[in-house]
Structure formats: C-alpha cells, structure tokens
Amino acid sequence: MSVQLEVDGSAEAQDSSPVAGASAGKGDLRSPKAKRVYDALLAAILDHRLPPGARLPEDELGSLYGVSRTVVRAALQALAHERVVAIEANRGAQVAEPTAEEARHVFEARSVIEPRLAAMAAALARPKDIAHLKRHIAEENAALAAGDTGRAIALSGSFHLAIASISAQPILAGFVRELISRSSLIIALYWRRPDTICERHAHAALGDAIASGEGQRAADLMMSHLVDLLSGLDLRPRRQKEGRLQDLLSGGGER
Amino acid sequence: MSVQLEVDGSAEAQDSSPVAGASAGKGDLRSPKAKRVYDALLAAILDHRLPPGARLPEDELGSLYGVSRTVVRAALQALAHERVVAIEANRGAQVAEPTAEEARHVFEARSVIEPRLAAMAAALARPKDIAHLKRHIAEENAALAAGDTGRAIALSGSFHLAIASISAQPILAGFVRELISRSSLIIALYWRRPDTICERHAHAALGDAIASGEGQRAADLMMSHLVDLLSGLDLRPRRQKEGRLQDLLSGGGER
DNA sequence: TGCGCCCAAATTGTATACAATGATCGACGC
DNA sequence: GCGTCGATCATTGTATACAATTTGGGCGCA
C-alpha cells in the first residue's frame, strides 16, 4: 500500500503523461468508473510505481478508489486482456511479469508492425503532426537532462505511439499501444543500463525522416532502433523464476 | 431467441470448428464458466448464427447458459475487447457492425502482419505443420463442394490462423486471430459474391509455398490473397447506417 | 389530429452477501 | 527435528438485490 495510486485522477487530468492520455481502448469498458480505475492502474504500472509482480487485491483497490469489487474486476479484466496484468484463477491479479521469451516476442512483433507504420507516417505526416513529434523529442531530452529516467521511458513509449497514430492505421496503432505497455514492463524487469544517448539520437533521426517524408529511411531507422532497444535488455542470465523470487525476498512487490 | 446458441457446449466439445477451438486468449478470462459463455458466443458469431447487430441482453444470455449476469458480463467484456461485440454505456451489447472504414483498416492491418508471418511460417514449417495445412485445405474444398459456404468461411479463417500459429510469433498470431474474427463480421456485412474458386487456389498455392520453404513467395501470395479478399467486398455503396436499418426492417437481427 | 410531456417497463450499472477455492500456520505423529 | 496433515484465514467466484438510465407508449393539450 506504499505505492501511490492517484485516487483523485490528478495524473490523468493534467495529462502530463501522454501515454496514459492515449490509453483508452474506447469500446472496451462501459462505465466511467471502471475506466477511471483502469486509467489509474495503467498509469501507475507504466510509471513503474507498481512494479511487475505487484499483487492487486480487488477489495483493496476497491476501497482505494471508492468503488466496489465489481468495478475493479472489470478494470482488471481489461488490463489482463492487454497482458499488462496477469490473472490466475482463484489467485487474483498481479502486475504482469513478462518472461524473457515473451519479451523477445514483443519486440519481434514491434519490429514487424512499427517500421511499416513509420513509413506510412512519413507519407502522411502533416505539419501539425511533425510539430507534435518534435515537441515530444524536446520533452524527452528535458526529462533525460533532468535525470528523470522513469519519465523519459514513458515519453519514449509515447513517441512511438505518436508515430503510430499518424499512420492512419488505428487498429495497428492499438496493437502498438499494447506492445508499448508490455515493453514498459519488460524494461522494468530486464533493462541493463541507462544508455539513453543512442535512443535520443534515434528518436531525433526518426523524427527527421518522417518530417522529410522519407518513408523507407524512417522504416529502416525504426527497425534498427527497435533492435537497439532489444539489445539493451539483459534477457539471458535470469530465469523467469528469479524475477519473482527477487521481488518476494526484497519485501514483497506490493508494499 | 430463434438463434441456437449451443448451450450444452457440444460444438466446442467435438471440436468440429477449429476456429472456435483456437479461440481462447488464454490469460484473459479467469473462470471456466465465463470462458464457456465466451466460447459459445464467439462460435455463434463466427458461424454467422448471430448476425452483426444482434442484441445480446445479459439476463437472456444468463438464463440460456444457466449462469448469472456477472458471468455473462465478463464474457461480453472479453468479446468487446476483441471488437467482436460492441458495448454502449447503459445500452447493452450487440454483435459488432464494422463500418466500411473499419473493414479497410482490418484488411490493411492483416496485409501488414500476415505476409510476414507467412514468410516466417515457410522458414519454420515442419512436416506436421504442413500436413495440418493440407488437411485444412482439403476440408475447405469439401465444404465448398458441399455448398456449405458458412463452414467454408470459418475454415478459411482457420487456415490463416494455422499459418500464423506456425510462425512462432504468438503475439502476432493473437492479433491475427482477432483480425480474422472481425473479418468474419465484415464478410457477413459486405461480401459481394461467393467467388470461392480464386480463394481455393490461393490457399493451395500458399500452402505449397510454405511447404517448400519459399518465404518470399509465400509472403507475396498472402499479400495478393488479402487484396483479393478485400476486393471481394462491396464497401462503397452502403453507408454504415444502412446496414443497421436493413437489420431492423427485416424483423430484427436477434430473433 | 398532431405534437409534446410524463410515466412505466425493461435493461444495464453497482454494491453486497454468500460460497468456494487456495494459502498460511499450527499441531501432531514419526 | 522434520515432515505431513488439518484447520483457520484471506481472497476470489458467483449470485442476487437495488439504483440509475434509457426506451417506448399513453395521455393530455393545443
């Protein structure tokens, strides 16, 4: 319970986290209450305030947000569908802990989809979109300069999502959104070192390629950028069990 | 209520419909009861027993399957997340009615993902997988010869899913599964003519390319096959409203 | 007769009570 | 002392009751 969960929704309201702002799969959750819990939980997970493996008891969340377990369950189910939360029957929900194999699959999927979307974005980008991307890059640089790596990671994901949104492929953009969320968990588990310089340049180059309409170059840059991201992970040494054990021994992930 | 909904689960049990058998997004629904309702509803929708626009009242489904609304809601939410069912706040659920624009997006997304997966499948296919594909093609031809177009459509989707499953990309295969489900709705709404001959040949050629390990050719064949499918749709004349109106005037989709 | 308002029926949104399952901790026997 | 068995506890699974919202019809009025 030491994790702060933004009950009053201030984080979403001020829209400081564009990832959370673009989060809503619109047709999924019916009630505004469930969407609120969903947004708050997703934001907490993407910001790494709730680490992988953190347990998510229904009644605790319900009392936190002032809603019943019914509403919490709907939100958890939506998060589980996006593989951000893992639910085991009769054993409740916890923040997902992607295995190394899943991590590879996530980045392989991104490598299939995102280069194509980058190329489409380069063909379709309007001045407004380009300005949006450049603003994003500036924010990222500011966060990196300030040493706020958590925010930088969130902004980095948001940058990828922004490119996907330009591509006029809402379905694929939705897939990318899910993959970016899972990537956030993967980074929390497997990130090796904050070698952020290469990434900063990668995003800038990507933005330039899109701004100048060079589709093929944008696709190539996106592909190599994703390869770089994957190579920044330390997937080999750990076995999947160790991640959990470490969480448990360090005092339990959820409190 | 005139639509038969396979309450006893016989359709899933005998596994005559491979699409339904491969349906379960495994981490999503916790309880077996909810999964049962989910499977039954999805099978009914993919078999076009429940047409697009059919209303899905919670208590009616609950009494049909002998469960409470709670369970039905979980199943409906899962289906809504896959865009097979549309839920409007305070207005309940109905079988989704993809617009012409959404239909194009679905096939554009498939055109990005499936050719790549076909190439990977060609590289990875083992004799068992190839036999599986050939068996599928034979079943499709049998269904077409028998004039059972509904079953042929379901088997066609299953064939695409089988290719995706070979590719060792479970995440992308899951995306393809969702897109195939949506394609089934799109075909129900927009299919022009049962010009099944080209498709039969297309699947056979695709199977051959994968069997012989020709990745690039498999990708090309998949791409042109998807273009053919899209060109078999009649997306232009109708406006989205008309589809609903037609359903309503013909006596209501759900009974 | 046509239009608009209000009430009632139906359906969903939410909460809560109860049942069932799994986990933890203690005791007992070996 | 160690392992295993059993009971209590916590948490989830399910059902049902109630509240809120929408839809459709009927009534009244112009």
Asked if the Cβ–Cβ distance from A105 to B31 is below 8 Å, we say: no
- Among B116, B85, B126, residue whose Cα is nearest residue B218: B116
Q: How far apart are CA B47 and CA B157, in angstroms?
A: 11
Output the CA angle B82-A108-A38, nearest 5 degrees.
40
Whether the predicted pLDDT of B251 surpasses 90: no
| Phi, psi values for residue A56, rounded to 5° | -130, 75
If you average pLDDT over residues B2-19, what whole number do you get? 42
**Residue B17 near residue B47 (C-beta atoms within 8 A):** yes
Contact status of B68 with chain A (Cβ, < 8 Å): no
According to DSSP, the residues that pair with A95 across neighbouring strands are: A85
A38/C12 CA-to-C1' distance in Å: 20
Q: 3-state class of A87 per DSSP?
A: strand
E strand or H helix that includes residue B55 = strand B55-56
Q: How far apart are CA A206 and CA A212, in angstroms?
A: 10
pLDDT digits (tens, 9 = 90+) for A58-105: 999 999 999 999 999 999 999 999 999 999 999 999 999 999 999 999
Whether the predicted pLDDT of A207 surpasses 50: yes
pTM above 0.85, yes or no: yes
Find the residue in B nearest to A179 (Cα).
B171
Amino acid identity of residue A15, one-letter, is D
Asked if the Cβ–Cβ distance from B78 to A77 is below 8 Å, we say: yes
Residues 6+ apart with CB under 8 A from A5: A40, A41, A44, A49, A50, A61, A64, A65
pLDDT at B151: 85
Amino acid identity of residue B123, one-letter, is A
Asked if the Cβ–Cβ distance from B175 to A109 is below 8 Å, we say: yes
pLDDT at B162: 97
- Among A163, A144, A153, A151, residue whose Cα is nearest residue A184: A153
Of A193-202, A210-219, B146-155, the least confident: A193-202
DSSP B30: -
- Among A161, A166, A79, A57, residue whose Cα is nearest residue A121: A166
